[in-house]
Structure 1
């Protein structure tokens, strides 16, 4: 569906838990507590929301957390989403700690790809940053996903202390696309905002040669490279950057992998934003900066009885769909990260959904 600014909203990010098995300083330090399972959407409730979203034009679903793999039955949730007609892709963002355990079941359930968060390859720095000594498990999880044939991308947050060179060399070695994400001033992240992605790209050019944006022509499925072929979509506009999300990919002259940059602060992409977020507690969030949205859990648990009766289920679905349509239409024009005093969102990122 189109929002009030004519943007086509096709992408729903679903946080399925606010729990995590790491304690990254910029996201979820030890003092952050979870809200309890009774306040988290059930799988059945998530499926109902996805069905309503699909009826409004949602085609891409991303599973996030917290850490989604700490929630029991995550693969079952994905299997249920895969069974919903109209869902084209299901992907997941994970810290990778439990990925070796679940890679096979995720593949079998119908997951289309993974983004693995990895901010450092130094074991001591990882332990300091994440509060846990799980770097080996993350690297093993990446290998397990590759072995299962799950497309993997690495996400690294462009924080003040980032050492990007080792991450690029690792991604090159493993033939995995790498994306750098500008730190957003949300929750604890305000303390770790680093240089812009433009500055980072210039730094990488000193090491890996001249960079050039990777483009392809609309209405063509062009295999740009083996590593990113799964990201190439058929689009209906003029020449556009690779991918359906906000990352802009570059090819460096000394690298064979694509390097992406998600520049929320210094490369504002709000005019093409195609997504909304669903928090673990069922709040449909329209923009990271603002608390605008609607509580879908309240609709789902609003006293409707005998959920198995078709007429009541139909009425509930209509109410849910109408609420989502009205909310999405009012999606704000743009974020205000450059003016943090205008932000109305006060929750930590883990409460919003990464």
Structure 2
């Protein structure tokens, strides 16, 4: 089992398959995607080498992320590669849902277990304002289909200060009858959004306290789960999760590592730089890659230091998939 110098074990790989995104979310890419590199994204064969290496190190779950993963036409092949990797028990995709109705059946056919879709507002006009695309009804139709197929579905919503309580009530009404897990994510400061962060950051613990007072109950956290604290309520079909990276001891339960679409290992979302694995990946030698990752894990810091204003080399969250 892969373990760092602080006793944390890593069951979960977030593998970015592209940093490109077709949305223009205010807090991430307000001016649209602009390529920052010349190197091609990992091929299916290279991604397979990465997943086999991490599976040897105890990884149980792989999340294919971006950018927007559906911009890759070979995403179904990447899902299949993850699903057929010995040792990998769960395969997830994080997407903005733009293509969801037309692709979800194929993703399911190739082995998708879990789907995360980003929806920051259930108000159609506000959604269009945030993302630059008026496509919320289409995304909700895709989610309905995912649920029909039995895919465990989560919805990610970034907490934004202005209008937060209105959006919370809209989401709660939706969760009454919709069996998804809604995850409220605290807005995180990156290199590109400092002014936006200063005016829009809302503490997730404020929302969490409201939920507890309304009868929501905390669930146990699985070993390969993400960072959310999940709550259930007997009157709701859906669940609510909270990801609060500015809370005390947030990093103590870190169980995930990230590899970028260019083959760099990021020991933290907010590392100063990625550690280049591309040459080893290209050999196709999963054993050698596993040993290299094992040697590098000792460099993982105890904290992301976000609370001190550190954003490391993360200019925006599309670079390595959030």
Distance apart, 1:322 and its partner CA: 2.1
Distance apart, 1:141 and its partner CA: 1.1
Structure-1 separation of matches of 2:7 and 2:281: 28
* Aligned ranges 1:65-144 → 2 under 5 Å: 65-144=66-145
Distance apart, 1:180 and its partner CA: 0.7
Other-structure match for 2:257:
276
Distance apart, 1:347 and its partner CA: 2.4
Local SS of the residue matching 2:9: coil
1:171 aligns with 2:207: no
Report Cα offsets for 1:246-267 as digits up to 9, x if no partner.
2112234653432111111125
Other-structure match for 2:319:
351
Q: TM-score, normalised by structure 1?
A: 0.82
RMSD over aligned Cα atoms = 2.2
Structure-2 separation of matches of 1:38 and 1:74: 19
1:197 aligns with 2:219: no
Pick closer, same or farther for the CA change 1:148–1:257 going to 2, 3 Å: closer
Local SS of the residue matching 1:121: coil
Structure-2 separation of matches of 1:103 and 1:31: 25
Structure-2 separation of matches of 1:300 and 1:149: 34
Structure-1 separation of matches of 2:159 and 2:306: 15
Structure-2 separation of matches of 1:56 and 1:121: 40
2:187 to 168, 171, 183: 183
Distance apart, 1:82 and its partner CA: 1.3
Other-structure match for 1:14:
15
Higher alpha-carbon Rg: 1
Local SS of the residue matching 2:177: helix
Structure-2 separation of matches of 1:173 and 1:256: 5
For the 8 Å contact 1:210–1:252, the answer to whether it is kept is yes
Pick closer, same or farther for the CA change 1:31–1:248 going to 2, 3 Å: closer
* Aligned ranges 1:1-354 → 2 under 5 Å: 1-35=2-36, 38-161=39-162, 162=164, 163-190=167-194, 191-192=196-197, 193-204=200-211, 209-215=214-220, 233=222, 244-252=225-233, 254-301=235-282, 316-340=285-309, 342-354=310-322
Distance apart, 1:122 and its partner CA: 1.1
Corresponding pairs, count: 315
Other-structure match for 1:228:
none
For the 8 Å contact 1:27–1:187, the answer to whether it is kept is no
Local SS of the residue matching 1:352: coil
Structure-1 separation of matches of 2:147 and 2:174: 14
Q: Mind listing any 5+ residue stretches in structure 1 that lack a counterpart?
A: 216-231, 236-242, 305-312
For the 8 Å contact 1:18–1:350, the answer to whether it is kept is yes
